[in-house]
Structures are given as C-alpha cells and as structure tokens.
C-alpha cells in the first residue's frame, strides 16, 4: 500500500508538471505567432502592398483585442476598420492579454515604405499564473522584439 501511495503521489506530481509545461508551451507558441503576424504587417507596409486594390500602397497593422474572446487581427489602412481586416486569430483559452487591458483594443500600424510604427508593447499571459507572461515590444522604428 505504501508503494501504491508513493506511485499515486509521483504520478500526480508528474501530471501537474506536464500540465504546466503544456500551458507554458502554448504561451510561447502564441507569442511567436503574434510576432510573425506583426512582421507580416510590417513587410506588407514596407513593400507597399495595396490592400484594397485602389492602386495606392497602404499602411498595415495588427489590432489586439482584449474582450470575451481575445484575438488579434491583420488589417490595412490608416486606422482599423472591420471592412479592412483580412484575418482574425483567436487566442486559446489558456492564454489572455494582460495588455491591452480588459475591454480595450490596441492597434499597431506600420507606415508605408519606412515601416515606422506606433511604439508600443503587447503582453500575453496565463490567467491562472500572472507570473507567466510574454511581452512583445514594437519600437517607433518598426522593430519587433519579444522576451
């Protein structure tokens, strides 16, 4: 019985560690995907991609929305409009935005040709553990970094 009890305790400890590892992996993957979409928006702006096919190059950006369902969305234009959004990616249930704040949006817009951006940062975290966060920083020159 003692051996069985020890096995149960060890199994539960391994299960908890596996669960935490899975959440951390999901957080890192979300951060990586968000950085990739920011880079796509930057590349589209720098290359002068025409989002609405009117013959003029457009600014491109990403909207980060913190609400009932957190998501980020690629768009073109000087400011966010639903009609100009091309993709919407929802965060998994285990990952939430810490910044922007609950009920808020944050738009990062990259300028045509130069790729300059609204300087800002975005923070994703695990709601069950506020110490597990990942920050994405966008500098005014358009460079994107993450920790």
Domain 2-146: give its CATH superfamily: minor pseudopilin epsh domain (3.55.40.10)
Please list the residues that pair with 75 across neighbouring strands: 61, 85
pLDDT, tens digit (0-9, with 9 covering 90-100), for 35-59 = 999 999 999 999 999 998 898 899 9
Q: CA angle, corner 140, sides to 39 and 111, nearest 5?
A: 60
Structure tokens at 101: 């704040």
User: 97, 114 in Cβ contact below 8 A?
Assistant: no
65: part of which helix (H) or strand (E)?
strand 60-65
pLDDT, tens digit (0-9, with 9 covering 90-100), for 64-115 = 999 989 999 999 999 999 999 988 999 987 888 888 999 999 999 999 989 9
């Amino acid at each position: 019985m003692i051996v069985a009890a020890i096995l149960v305790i060890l199994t539960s400890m391994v299960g908890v560690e596996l669960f935490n590892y899975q959440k951390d992996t999901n957080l890192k993957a979300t951060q990586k995907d968000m950085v990739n979409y920011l880079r796509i928006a930057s590349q589209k702006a720098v290359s002068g991609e025409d989002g609405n096919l009117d013959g003029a190059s457009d600014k491109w950006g990403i909207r980060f929305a913190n609400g009932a369902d957190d998501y980020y969305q690629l768009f073109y234009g000087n400011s966010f409009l639903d009609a100009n959004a091309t993709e919407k990616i929802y965060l998994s249930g285990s990952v939430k935005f810490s910044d922007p704040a609950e009920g808020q949006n944050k738009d990062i817009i990259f300028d045509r040709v130069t790729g300059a951006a609204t300087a800002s940062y975005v923070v994703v975290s695990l709601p069950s553990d506020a110490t597990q966060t990942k920050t994405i920083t966008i500098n005014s020159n358009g460079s994107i970094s993450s920790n």
